[in-house]
Amino acid sequence: MGYGLTGYLLPWDNRALLGARVVATSIAAKAPIGRALTWHGLLGGQGSIGVVTFARFYAIHVLLLPPLTTLLIAIQCFTSYGGMGVAPEAGDTAPTKKFYPETGV
């Protein structure tokens, strides 16, 4: 959702501007902490969408979300036991092998 919200504004056309205005400022203002975010200029500068908002969304989209996504994928890979999506057998509590890295060929 973060990639979608921040990436929608990047084309910087009328559709993106309207979408960012409706989603980022209007809908976010309905959340308990959203009103503070919109009026303190973090999402939109004092209720408006401009170059500063574009720069902030671009920075979040390019600088913050990719490392966060990489970290979450790494945590998922190193904490999954017995493979991804494989249900353990009844009575089998020990993992048979690690998902990543698999030693041996």
* In a domain? residue 98: no
Answer whether residue 24 shows pLDDT above 90: no
Q: Across residues 54-59, what is the average pLDDT?
A: 86
- The domain tally of the chain equals 1
* In a domain? residue 41: yes
d(CA 70, CA 73): 5
16 or 63: which carries more pLDDT confidence?
Answer: 63
* In a domain? residue 28: yes
* In a domain? residue 78: no
| DSSP string computed for 44-86 | SBTTB--HHHHHHHHHIIIIIHHHHHHHHHHHHHHH-BSSTTP
Q: Which two tokens mark 90?
A: 């009844």
pLDDT tens-digit map of 32-55: 766 666 645 566 555 567 787 788
CB 37 within 8 A of CB 56: no
Per-residue model confidence (pLDDT) at position 104: 60
Q: How confident is the model at residue 70 (pLDDT cuts 50, 70, 90)?
A: very high
6 or 45: which carries more pLDDT confidence?
Answer: 6
This prediction has a pTM of 0.60
* In a domain? residue 105: no
Per-residue model confidence (pLDDT) at position 16: 84
* In a domain? residue 81: no
Please enumerate in sequence order all residues whose Cβ is within 8 A of that of 55, keeping only pairs 6 or more positions apart, or say none: none
CB 78 within 8 A of CB 95: no
* In a domain? residue 43: yes
Per-residue model confidence (pLDDT) at position 77: 81
Q: Which two tokens mark 8?
A: 């929608």
Residue 34 belongs to what domain range?
2-61
CB 49 within 8 A of CB 65: no
* In a domain? residue 34: yes
